[in-house]
Amino acid sequence: MDIHDLTRELKVKNDSKIVMLVADGLGGLPTQAGGKTELETAWTPNLDALAARGVLGSAIPIAPGISPGSGPGHLALFGYDPLQYVIGRGALEATGIGFELQDGDVAIRCNFCTIDEAGKITDRRAGRIASEESGPLAIRLRQVKIPGIEVFVEPVKEHRFVVVFRGPGLGDRVKDTDPQATGVPPLDPVADDAASQKTAEVAKAFLAQAREILASHPKANFHTMRGFAGKPKLPSYEEVYGLRAAAIAVYPMYKGLARLVGMDIVGQAQTLSEQMDLLEQNWNDYDFFFLHFKYTDSRGEDGDFDAKVEKIEELDASVPRITALKPTVLIVTGDHSTPAYLKGHSWHPVPTLLVSDCCRPDAEAQFGECNCVRGGLGQFEAKYLMTLALANAGRLGKYGA
Amino acid sequence: MDIHDLTRELKVKNDSKIVMLVADGLGGLPTQAGGKTELETAWTPNLDALAARGVLGSAIPIAPGISPGSGPGHLALFGYDPLQYVIGRGALEATGIGFELQDGDVAIRCNFCTIDEAGKITDRRAGRIASEESGPLAIRLRQVKIPGIEVFVEPVKEHRFVVVFRGPGLGDRVKDTDPQATGVPPLDPVADDAASQKTAEVAKAFLAQAREILASHPKANFHTMRGFAGKPKLPSYEEVYGLRAAAIAVYPMYKGLARLVGMDIVGQAQTLSEQMDLLEQNWNDYDFFFLHFKYTDSRGEDGDFDAKVEKIEELDASVPRITALKPTVLIVTGDHSTPAYLKGHSWHPVPTLLVSDCCRPDAEAQFGECNCVRGGLGQFEAKYLMTLALANAGRLGKYGA
């Protein structure tokens, strides 16, 4: 079942306001037996007050045991089945640096590499060349000209950069040129279907010119191409939910993901306080606000338990600025767990709270993983958070008579 | 979604060890209002210690309210959607007696019956003839010869036996010959598709010879054929999970089910203690160990609450031999519930515990049904137990970037 078949049919417009506050990588783990998680350790009087009024639950982003990347994690929160809607690697990389893909574009993740005189790869990542060197080198590749095709080259980080082809008739089913091994030459780009034949030709032409441009560089004399992908086709928030949605995020990746589902990207906040300013300033113009807080994930990835606790407390301190606006529905959740103990994304369910005047409160009065296990939302698939949000906002009619 | 599409893509190899201890029919019921279940009644200090360190949950083998047989119950635990992968009746019967089906075989459940002089069935189960009499009678049917076909006849129990045809071009879509009524003759075996035409002819030939061989027997002068089925096509543990898996079971049915998913059947244990010996002896050669304990189910089927409690305590006493090996992930669960109160398999969720260094502990410290309801795994589909096991063993990469 596609949940959007239901929401399209049942959606109702009204003046309600929904705020979804996403603390990236919110869920955690204790670091020792009998210990508490980051969220349970943090002093969070404001979130606890919401927990007491609201309903808690544990969100499963993809499926039990599956650790999500940022793309599928956010698609699930936005209500898009992350196993049905797949964002290709190239498209995600372009999205992550804020490149606005258009329909028909083909985005490609590229890696600088080194090849020997026989053309065989000696280092697939060009020694993880520093961004200071690789950035200008990527920009030098903008010299590549291909008749009838608009070509974009954007630096990413270290050995990584993005190439986007724009022009008519470009399919995105082209095989990677990275042979995943050294001592062999890079592969030619080969189309997997007729519609991608032209893309493979364009890629081949790009590589030929790039080879000349890079030939004399001592650290990165060639590059590979991977993850050819067009702009994912996602129905918009307006279409599936009837929501005018605004995204207030600091990092390009999350702005990009929001843009893919038709949210407006609001402002250029650099801090949580600036994000709250934008929320206040735009309050009357939108029905739905996606607020993204990155640093819970970052500190989790660092493996820094105490710093993640601090970031959660910083987030908690900003909650009164949201509640002061009296949103009809306020959700606090994460796109996945990032326990400092694991230094990375994990599969553990994500602590989630939802507050509205018509939520059914449970017996829990603190926002923490153990409380969420006992919460009224139970353990649920994250993709249903949006229907819960709409329902609590009075924005979904009855199914069947 | 086929969960194996994910595990195939995301699986990672490492040196971790996973143990899945299956207490058949583990879940139970109180026998009086306010009472405790068998598991809650049993003194289980070792399982309780695991519960305190680990995470609990309630596994639903098939769907709420659906009581599973042993086949689908185990398929779910092994991570194979039991509604997608169906083991035909004949194949399950053959598997249950330890017959190793090969690709292309057709297995058939047969019932001895009695027919009158007009050829009409008078008793569909031959008065549930005793195994002592039916066994030799089944073996007498090995006299049947069919050109070009290898024929196997294996006694099962009472009126039941198994016939397997082996030869080229045998489809398994043949209708039952049991008319499900007395006073009418058995039906002819009729093929449902062209590929099974030959099988129907072979079955007809078998029945004609069997009729002669059995004609003079006073208690069972004919038989019916039901549940024609080939060897189920299940992808292997190695292929879908990257696991070298060993099954340590006493009963043929569970060895057979494990063999269907590509596990090695290790040793010939007759007791739990011998099973633990085998676990220790084979510890270095496998990544995954399926340990099957039958007697919780048997005593439940008997309706003997106290005896089931004892069997659970016996199992608990063996747990230290497992934990001494320091498995990366230890799971204790059942394939279904078998409450003594119901004297049979039931639909009730199965108490389940999972322990690893990176599981997220819940607030529960005893292994019992009520604790499992409040556990951190929540109520979950049993088919996801394997992804949880793999994740906790560090054997699954991230989904999407």
Final residue of a structural domain among A230, A256, A284: A230
- Label the pairing between strands A329-333 and A18-23: parallel
Chain A hits for B400, CB-CB cut-off 8 Å, are 68-73, 82, 86-87, 92
Torsion of CA A374, A377, A379, A380, to 10 degrees: -170
Interface test with B, best of A364, A373, A379 (most B CBs within 10 A): A373
Task: Taking residues B368-383, report their average pLDDT.
Answer: 97
B360 to A37: CB separation less than 8 angstroms, yes or no: yes
DSSP at B186: P
Over residues B102-121, the mean pLDDT reads 96
B273 residue type, one letter: S
Residues A214 and A133 in one domain: yes
- Is residue B93 within 8 A of residue B227, CB to CB? The reply is yes
| Residue B73 to chain A, least CA–CA distance (Å) | 18
* Per-residue pLDDT reduced to its tens digit, A187-210: 999 999 999 999 999 999 999 999
- For residues A318 and A23, the answer to whether their CB atoms sit within 8 Å is no
Which pair of tokens denotes residue B342?
A: 């119901």
Q: Which A residues, 67 through 96, put their C-beta within 8 Å of a C-beta on chain B?
A: 67-73, 82-83, 86-87, 89, 92-93, 96
- Contacting residues of B for A58, CB less than 8 Å apart: 376, 378
B-chain residue closest to A372, CA distance: B376
- B18 contacts in chain A (CB < 8 Å): none
Percent of chain A past pLDDT 70, that is, above it, reads 100
User: Are B4 and B240 within 8 A, CB to CB?
Assistant: yes
Q: Phi first, then psi: give them for residue A275, nearest 5 degrees.
A: -65, -40
CB-based contact (8 Å) between B194 and chain A?
no
Structure tokens at A132: 């200071």
- A223/chain B closest Cα distance in angstroms: 21
What is the complex's ipTM, to 2 decimals?
Answer: 0.90
Tell me the per-residue pLDDT of A340-383, one tens digit each, with 9 for 90 and over: 999 999 999 999 999 999 999 999 999 999 999 999 999 999 99
Does B2 score more than 90 pLDDT? Answer: no
Quick one: tokens of A374? 């006992």
Residue, of B311 and B2, whose pLDDT is higher: B311
Predicted local distance difference test score (pLDDT) of residue A194: 96
Beta-sheet pairing, B106-115 with B160-166: antiparallel
B225 with B250, same domain: the answer is no
- Is residue A257 located within the same domain as residue A350? yes
3-state SS class at B20: strand
Is the pLDDT at B223 greater than 80? The verdict is: yes
- Contact assessment for residue B101 and residue B84, using Cβ atoms and an 8 Å cutoff: no
In sequence order, the β-bridge partners of residue B110 are B161, B225
B64 in contact with chain A, both atoms CB, cutoff 8 A: no
Mean of pLDDT values over B69-94: 95
Phi then psi dihedrals of residue B233, to 5 deg = -95, 100
Residue A312 lies in a domain: yes
Min Cα separation B127/chain A (Å):
49
Angle between helices A305-323 and A272-281 (to 10 degrees): 20
- Give the tens place of pLDDT for each residue, B230-262: 999 999 999 999 999 999 999 989 999 999 999
Token couple for A351: 């602590």
* A34, A66, A374 ranked by CB distance to B374: nearest: A374
Domain shared by A82 and A99, yes or no: no
Look over chain A and give the mean of its residue pLDDT values, rounded to a whole number. 96
Dihedral sign (CA A122, A128, A133, A138): positive
* Tokens linked to A336: 């996945």
What are the chain B neighbours of A373 within 8 Å (beta carbons)? 362-363, 374-376, 378
Place of tokens 């200090």: B45
Residue B399 resides in a domain:
no
Q: Does one domain contain both A59 and A97? A: no
Q: How far apart are CA B86 and CA B113, in angstroms?
A: 28
CB contact under 8 A, B399 and A69: yes
Q: How far is CA B214 from the centre of its chain?
A: 32
In total, chain B counts a number of residues equal to 401
Judged against a pLDDT cut of 80, whether residue B1 lies above it is answered with no
Q: Do A65 and B388 touch (CB under 8 A)?
A: yes
Q: What is the total count of domains within chain A?
A: 2
Is the model's pLDDT at A117 over the cut of 90? yes
So what's the pLDDT on residue A33?
85
Q: Which residue in B275, B273, B159 sits closest to B221, CA to CA?
A: B159
Residue with tokens 């993901």: A257
Contact indicator for B209, B143 with CB cutoff of 8 Å: yes
Torsion angle, alpha carbons of B56, B377, B333, B227, to 10:
160
Percentage of chain A beyond pLDDT 90 is: 96
Interface test with A, best of B243, B358, B362, B398 (most A CBs within 10 A): B398
Q: How many Cβ atoms from other residues are within 10 Å of residue B294's Cβ?
A: 19
Say whether A64 and B380 touch across the interface (CB within 8 A): yes
What would the mean pLDDT of A239-254 be, rounded to a whole number? Answer: 96
Residues of chain B with C-beta less than 8 angstroms from the C-beta of A83: 1, 6
Residue A308 lies inside a defined structural domain of this protein: yes
Whether residue A401 is contained in a domain is answered as: no
User: Is A397 inside any structural domain?
Assistant: no
Question: Which residues, numbered 334 to 363 in chain B, qualify as contacts with chain A under a Cβ-Cβ cut-off of 8 Å?
Answer: 358, 360-363
With bands split at pLDDT 50, 70 and 90, how would you rate the model's confidence at A34? confident
Are residues A181 and A279 located together in one domain of the fold? Answer: no
Q: What is the pLDDT of residue A376?
A: 97
Residue B359: Cβ within 10 Å count: 21
Beta carbons of B358 and A86 less than 8 Å apart: no
A-B Cβ pairs (cutoff 8 Å, strict): 102
How close, in Å, is residue B313 to chain A by CA atoms? 26
The pLDDT value given to residue A401: 84
Interchain pair A67, B363: CB under 8 A:
no
pLDDT value of position A1: 76
**First-to-final CA distance of chain B:** 20
Co-location of A370 and A241 in the same domain:
yes
- Judge whether A26 and A350 are in contact, CB under 8 Å: yes
Question: What chain A residue is nearest to B53 in terms of C-alpha separation?
Answer: A33
* Phi and psi, residue A194, nearest 5°: -60, -35
Q: Which residues are paired to A166 by β-bridges?
A: A150
Within a domain: residue A400? no
Beta carbons of B396 and A65 less than 8 Å apart: yes
Nearest CA-CA distance, residue A155 and chain B, Å: 18
Find the CB nearest B391 among A65, A86, A374: A65
Asked whether residue B259 is domain-assigned, the answer is yes
* B269 in the same domain as B161: no
Summarised one tens digit per residue, pLDDT across range A121-173 is 999 999 999 999 999 999 999 999 999 999 999 999 899 999 999 999 999 99
Question: Which of B156-184 are b and which e, b meaning 16 or more Cβ less than 10 Å from the residue's Cβ?
Answer: bebbbbbbbbebeebbbbbbbbbeeeeee
Give me the CATH number covering residue B7. 3.40.720.10
Closest chain B residue to the Cα of A36, Cα to Cα: B361
pLDDT tops 80 at residue A39: yes
For B8, other C-beta atoms within 10 Å of its C-beta total 14
Say whether B401 and A93 touch across the interface (CB within 8 A).
Answer: yes
Mean pLDDT over all residues of chain B?
A: 96
- Judging by beta carbons within 10 Å of its beta carbon (0-12, 13-18, 19+), is residue A381 exposed, middle or buried? middle
- Rounded CA gap, A245 and A17, in Å? 10
Q: Which residues on chain B are in Cβ contact (under 8 Å) with A349? A: 360, 376, 378
Rounded distance between C-alpha atoms, residue A61 and residue B271, angstroms: 42
**Domain end position, chosen among B230, B252, B273:** B230
Widest CA span of chain B, in angstroms? Answer: 73
Q: How many CA atoms lie within 13 A of A336 on its CB side?
A: 33
Residues A386 and A316: their CA atoms lie apart, in Å, by 22
Report how far residue A10's alpha carbon sits from residue A13's, in angstroms, rounded to the nearest whole number. Answer: 10
Query: Residue A294 has what DSSP assignment?
Result: -
- A176, A197, A230 — which closes off a domain? A230
pLDDT in tens, B324-348: 999 999 999 999 999 999 999 999 9
Asked whether the beta carbons of residue B387 and residue A63 sit closer than 8 angstroms, the reply is: yes
Q: Choosing among A32, A56, A66, which should be mutated to test the B contact, i.e. which has the most B CBs within 10 A?
A: A66
- CA–CA distance, B63 with A313 (Å, rounded to integer): 41
Q: Are residues A247 and A309 in the same domain?
A: yes
Q: Which of B251, B253, B283 is nearest to B268 (CA)?
A: B251
CA A266 to chain centre: 17
Averaged pLDDT for residues B152-166? 96
- Residues B4, A83: Cα–Cα separation, whole Å: 13
Q: Is B398 on the interface with A (CB under 8 A)?
A: yes
Q: How confident is the model at residue B401, as a pLDDT?
A: 78
Tokens of A48: 């606890």
b/e map A126-153, b = 16+ CB within 10 Å: beebeeebbbebbeebeebeeeebebeb
Looking at the structure, do residues A207 and A129 belong to the same domain, yes or no? yes
The C-alpha atoms of residue B72 and residue B115 are separated, in whole angstroms, by 34
Residue B338 lies in a domain: yes
Min Cα distance A374 → chain B (Å) is: 6
A144, A206 in Cβ contact below 8 A? Answer: yes
> Does one domain contain both B63 and B124?
no
* Domain residue limits at A68: 3-86+235-392
**One-letter amino acid of A93:** E
Contact list, B379 vs chain A (CB under 8 Å): 378-379
pTM score: 0.91
The distance of Cα A123 from the centroid of its chain, to the nearest Å, equals: 30
Interface check for B261 against chain A (CB to CB < 8 A): the answer is no
Task: Write down the pLDDT at residue A356.
Answer: 98
Q: How many CB atoms lie within 10 A of CB A22?
A: 25
A260: pLDDT strictly greater than 90:
yes
Name the H helices within A188-251: 197-214, 237-241
- Which of B276, B262, B223 lies closest to B78, judged by CA? B262
Strand residue runs (E) in A267-397: 288-293, 329-333, 350-356, 378-381
State whether residue B391 sits within 8 Å of chain A by CB. yes
CB A231 within 8 Å of CB A101 = yes
* Residue in A closest to B10 by C-alpha: A66
Rounded Cα distance, B56 and B40, in Å: 14
Burial degree of B313 (CB within 10 A; 0-12, 13-18, 19+): middle
Shared domain check, B259 and B324: yes
